[in-house]
Amino acid sequence: MPADTRDRIVDATCELFRRQGMTGTGLKQIAQSAGAPFGSIYHFFPGGKAQLADEAIRTSGAMYRDLVLAIFDEVGPDLPSTIRAAFAAAADNLIATDYTDACPIATIALEVASTNETLRLATADVFTDWIDQGAERIAGSGLPHEVCRSLILGFITSLEGAFVLSRALRSPEPLRAAGATVSAAATTALAEHQGVTVRSSE
């Protein structure tokens, strides 16, 4: 079988998992979406859905990481503004896809965290990679490593939580509020690092 059949299967799995989760996605649906014979799934993934899910998690995790973190290079050196722009872009994309196209990993992580150790580890590896590369990406701000790590953890957790609320409420408000909160944390961290006192407005 041609190698691109395998790629189509993985791509289709990533897309379906992102929109409807792993539990709601069947192998027949994956084969149909990929335009591939059903038997080709087991040809490339003899371990079945679990093996395919592991690869889809890692593939979509890397793609989403690059998509999100690229904004730190594209927007510019102003870290608080870049954070706000990232959340705004996420909100715009969620609206454009009728609240179906959010993070490809969070839904699966919730599904497998206490039921499938292999896939839990796959999601943990993805999140760890996001944290490590995210902290490295914002190191150009001049902040110490531990502060960069704390900020990127806040960025990721706020983004994931805001996705859940925005999809449930069908509103971009949680994403925009989360962006403002994380941006404010970055502003405070930068000011403290530079020895500037930040006063909250009365």
| Cβ within 8 Å of residue 192, ≥6 positions away | 198
Mean pLDDT for all residues in the chain: 90
Q: For residue 92, give both structure tokens.
A: 């715009």
Question: Are the beta carbons of 133 and 69 closer than 8 angstroms?
Answer: yes
Q: For residue 149, give both structure tokens.
A: 């790590």
pTM for the full predicted model: 0.85
Confidence of residue 2 (pLDDT cuts 50, 70, 90): low
CATH superfamily, with its number, for domain 3-193: Tetracycline Repressor, domain 2 (1.10.357.10)
Helix ranges (H only) for 45-144 are: 49-69, 71-74, 79-96, 106-112, 117-137
Domain ranges of the chain: 3-193
Share above pLDDT 90 across residues of the chain, in percent, rounded to a whole number: 72
> Does residue 195 carry a pLDDT above 50?
yes
Nearest to 175 by CA among 114, 70, 87: 87
> Does residue 76 carry a pLDDT above 50?
yes
Query: pLDDT tens across 109-132, in order?
Result: 888 888 899 999 999 999 999 999
Q: What is the mean pLDDT of residues 136-143?
A: 90
Q: What is the mean pLDDT of residues 59-77?
A: 85
Question: Are the beta carbons of 152 and 131 closer than 8 angstroms?
Answer: yes
Output the pLDDT for position 140. Answer: 86
Output the pLDDT for position 3. Answer: 61
> Does residue 20 carry a pLDDT above 90?
no
Share above pLDDT 70 across residues of the chain, in percent, rounded to a whole number: 94
Confidence of residue 77 (pLDDT cuts 50, 70, 90): confident
Q: What residue type is assigned to position 126 of the chain?
A: V
Q: For residue 5, give both structure tokens.
A: 């059949």
> Does residue 170 carry a pLDDT above 90?
yes
